């Protein structure tokens, strides 16, 4: 009789512990959502189907079983609303399945590898959401996964969110139209949406300049490579020389290129189709003098915190 009672108690304690673990995971999900809300930093899992459509992911290959770090998984196919970015459960309906998975892990059962899509250096869940959620709650660092890899011409990372996905979509279209990925494989990443149309305008201005200079038609792809080599790259070298980027580490060189060029247009009311080192240096020096001031930097920090920084 005591033996039977002990087993019953063990089962009851185990069931209570599994319930408690799920409830704790849901509490962590709530805290994770609340923490980011005041600063507009709440990050959801990215919907894979949306990512695939926006970035035109077409070619996929099975690269086999890999050990994948759990913190590199940023999205899901189908269940992106059911879990937080760290895969804590958001829905009470997940409780029973979640508990069964944890019970299986406790019992040392052989579970099949989860299935993931790899895009650049991050992953999206195809199958195995509950296993990943339980693993994150138990502080596992990695899991075995069957990985299917997609070719991609832009770079996603663990910080990529919905807003940044919109930027990457525009970047993908920009690279596709200009052919720069093939011609130069550049790093023209931006941190805010709205910059790539400005870059395309710059390329079109440079194209018009080349056609007038050479007296022949120039393709967008040819103009883009010429602009990148003779305008963008030397201008960015001057920006780096003045070290203003050190005051705004969350921004990219291409961000600064756009801001400096727009600053130049305000000062001179003209556009630059080709590179003039003397004029470029004077403009960057003036821009640096104004925008590295403590007041400007503090204002920029406040705007960034509250999500008010835009082009």
Is the pLDDT assigned to residue 305 strictly greater than 70? no
Please tell me the predicted confidence (pLDDT) of residue 245. 85
Structure tokens at 213: 């200079």
Report pLDDT for 311: 39
Residue 2 has pLDDT above 60, yes or no: no
pLDDT in tens, 78-136: 899 999 999 999 999 999 999 999 999 988 888 899 999 999 999 999 999 999 999 99
Q: Residue 301 — pLDDT band, cuts 50, 70, 90? A: low
Please check whether residue 60 is in contact with residue 149, taking contact to mean a CB–CB distance below 8 angstroms.
yes
Q: Given pLDDT bands bounded at 50, 70 and 90, which one contains residue 306?
A: low
pLDDT of residue 273: 62
Predicted TM-score (pTM) of this structure: 0.83
d(CA 226, CA 120): 28
pLDDT in the model for residue 297: 66
Beta-strand relationship, 114-119 and 46-47: unpaired
pLDDT of residue 185: 86
Return the higher-pLDDT residue of 212 and 282.
212
Question: 1 falls in which pLDDT band (50, 70, 90)?
Answer: very low
- pLDDT for 246 equals 83
Is the pLDDT confidence value at 258 over 70?
yes
Going edge to edge, which strands form the sheet with 60-69?
46-47, 73-76, 122-127, 114-119, 142-150, 60-69
Q: What integer pLDDT is reported at residue 267 of this predicted model?
A: 77
CATH 3.90.1530.10 fits 2-150, yes or no: yes
- Residue whose C-alpha is closest to residue 120's, from 64, 75, 88, 173: 75
For the chain, give every domain's residue range: 2-150, 162-305
Distances (CA, A) of 198 to 46, 190, 205: 27, 12, 11
**CB atoms inside a 10 Å sphere around CB 191:** 17
Position 193 scores a pLDDT of 84
**Distance, CA of 27 to CA of 32 (rounded, Å):** 9
Q: E strands, the chain, where? A: 46-47, 60-69, 73-76, 114-119, 122-127, 142-150
Summarize pLDDT for 26-70 with one digit per residue, the tens.
998 888 877 765 555 557 899 999 999 999 999 899 999 999 999
Instruction: Kindly report the three-state secondary structure assignment for every residue of 204-234.
Output: HHHHHHHHHHHCCCCCHHHHHHHHHHHHHHH
Look at 276 and 112; give whichever has higher pLDDT: 112
Least confident of 180-184, 186-190, 212-216, 234-238: 180-184
Q: What is the SS3 assignment for 90?
A: coil
d(CA 293, CA 263): 16
Q: What is the mean pLDDT of residues 160-178?
A: 93
Question: Between these two residues, 303 and 15, which has the higher pLDDT value?
Answer: 15
Interior angle at CA 23, CA 17 and CA 29, nearest 5: 140
Question: For the CA atoms of 169, 172, 176, 182, what is the dihedral angle to 10 degrees?
Answer: 180
Query: What mean pLDDT comes out for the span 253-265?
Result: 90
Statement: residue 181 has pLDDT above 70 = yes
| pLDDT at site 42 | 58
Q: Is the pLDDT of residue 207 over 50?
A: yes
Residue 82: its pLDDT value, please? Answer: 93
pLDDT at position 231 is: 93
């Amino acid at each position: 009789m005591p033996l039977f009672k002990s087993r019953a108690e063990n089962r009851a304690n185990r069931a209570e512990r599994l319930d408690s673990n799920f409830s704790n995971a849901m509490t962590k999900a709530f805290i994770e959502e609340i923490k980011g809300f005041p600063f507009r930093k709440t990050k959801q899992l990215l919907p894979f189907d949306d990512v695939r459509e926006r970035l035109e992911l077409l070619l996929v290959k099975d690269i086999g079983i890999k050990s994948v770090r759990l913190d590199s998984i940023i999205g899901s196919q189908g269940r992106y609303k059911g879990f937080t970015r760290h895969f804590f459960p958001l829905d009470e309906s997940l409780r029973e399945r979640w508990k069964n998975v944890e019970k299986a892990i406790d019992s040392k059962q052989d579970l099949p590898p989860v299935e993931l899509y790899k895009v650049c250096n991050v992953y999206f869940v195809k199958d195995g959401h509950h296993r990943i959620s339980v693993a994150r709650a138990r502080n596992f660092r990695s899991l075995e996964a069957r990985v299917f890899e997609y070719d991609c011409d832009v770079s996603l990372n663990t910080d990529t969110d919905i807003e940044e996905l919109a930027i990457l979509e525009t970047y993908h279209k920009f690279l596709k139209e200009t052919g720069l990925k093939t011609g130069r494989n550049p790093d023209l990443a931006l941190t805010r949406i709205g910059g790539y149309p400005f870059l395309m305008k710059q390329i079109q201005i440079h194209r018009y300049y080349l056609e007038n200079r050479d007296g022949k038609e120039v393709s967008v792809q040819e103009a883009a490579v010429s602009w990148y080599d003779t305008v963008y790259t030397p201008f960015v070298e001057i920006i780096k020389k003045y070290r203003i980027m050190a005051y705004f580490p969350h921004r990219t060189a291409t961000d600064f290129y756009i801001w400096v060029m727009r600053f130049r247009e305000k000062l001179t009311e003209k556009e630059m189709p080709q590179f003039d080192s003397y004029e470029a240096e004077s403009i960057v020096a003036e821009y640096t003098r104004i925008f590295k001031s403590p007041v400007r930097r503090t204002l920029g920090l406040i705007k960034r915190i509250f999500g008010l920084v835009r082009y």
